Chain A
Amino acid sequence: NAGVMQNPRHLVRRRGQEARLRCSPVKGHSHVYWYRQLPEEGLKFMVYLQKENIIDESGMPKERFSAEFPKEGPSILRIQQVVRGDSAAYFCASSPAQRGTDTQYFGPGTRLTVL
């Protein structure tokens, strides 16, 4: 009975490198959300995806960040040319249907440290 899985759990990158964060949703869930949590802050919504589609990316920075949820395989959050300010915990959540009435199931997070 696997929940949401994220890997890696910890990721260290130097400034200018790329970071790739993976999220496997709960089996059967087709809705994925990515969130970012800065130190001592609450969660901030970044992007909402369904299979092969980005539904809402209003919370994602316009540059360097991208997300995908292919037909096969995990959802990927990609950060290009990382900067120190990208250091944060990134959480993925999945749900069986859309918003409002549905519970989101969160993964354990990936903690990104940019040196």
Chain B
Amino acid sequence: DAKTTQPNSMESNEEEPVHLPCNHSTISGTDYIHWYRQLPSQGPEYVIHGLTSNVNNRMASLAIAEDRKSSTLILHRATLRDAAVYYCSLLPSNSGGGADGLTFGKGTHLIIQP
């Protein structure tokens, strides 16, 4: 049952880069690293996911450590709309054994200062 640990909260200024860390030391070789975020009173929203290589999309970048025991979500220029709780989760690529769904811890509450 792979788990993740994240800081409870982080604060950043608007238009500055933000690096959100996640530790997942018990990750297995078939686990994908997923990031979601949740704005107040809304459902979670997909941000990015990856397996081994760093990933980029229009929302963010995902930097994955070489040993895969940690990853960092990078928001290149934070805006006020990026203020949310960010969740890191592991999801096996194959079915069979263990829960099929995402499991989020308490996540990181990102505060953006104008």
Identify the A interface with B (CB < 8 A).
4, 33, 35, 40-48, 55-56, 58-59, 91, 93, 98-101, 103-109
Known contacts A42-B105, A45-B101, A45-B102; is-contact A108 B91 (Cβ 8 Å): no
**Which of A46, A55, A99, A108 makes the CB contact (< 8 A) with B43?**
A108
A contact residues around B102 at 8 Å (CB) = 33, 35, 43, 45, 93, 104
Closest B residue, CB atoms, query A98 = B95
**Least Cβ–Cβ distance between B5 and chain A, in angstroms:** 12
Q: Which one of A4, A43, A55, A59 has the greatest number of beta carbons of chain B within 10 Å?
A: A43
Interface SS of B by simple majority: loop
- B103 A44 Cβ-Cβ under 8 A: yes
Identify the B interface with A (CB < 8 A).
30, 32, 36, 42-46, 49, 87, 91-95, 98-107
**Which of B92, B99, B107 makes the CB contact (< 8 A) with A58?**
B99
Closest B residue, CB atoms, query A100 = B93
**Which of B45, B87, B92, B107 makes the CB contact (< 8 A) with A99?**
B92
- A103 B49 Cβ-Cβ under 8 A: yes
- A71 vs B49: C-alpha distance when bound (angstroms): 31
B contact residues around A106 at 8 Å (CB) = 36, 43-45
- B49 A42 Cβ-Cβ under 8 A: no
Q: Which one of A33, A41, A106 has the greatest number of beta carbons of chain B within 10 Å?
A: A106
- A101 B43 Cβ-Cβ under 8 A: no
**Least Cβ–Cβ distance between A91 and chain B, in angstroms:** 5
**Least Cβ–Cβ distance between B94 and chain A, in angstroms:** 7
Known contacts A105-B46, A106-B44; is-contact A35 B92 (Cβ 8 Å): no
Known contacts A99-B92, A103-B49; is-contact A43 B99 (Cβ 8 Å): no
- B99 A56 Cβ-Cβ under 8 A: yes
Closest A residue, CB atoms, query B105 = A42
A contact residues around B44 at 8 Å (CB) = 43, 91, 93, 106
- A45 B100 Cβ-Cβ under 8 A: yes
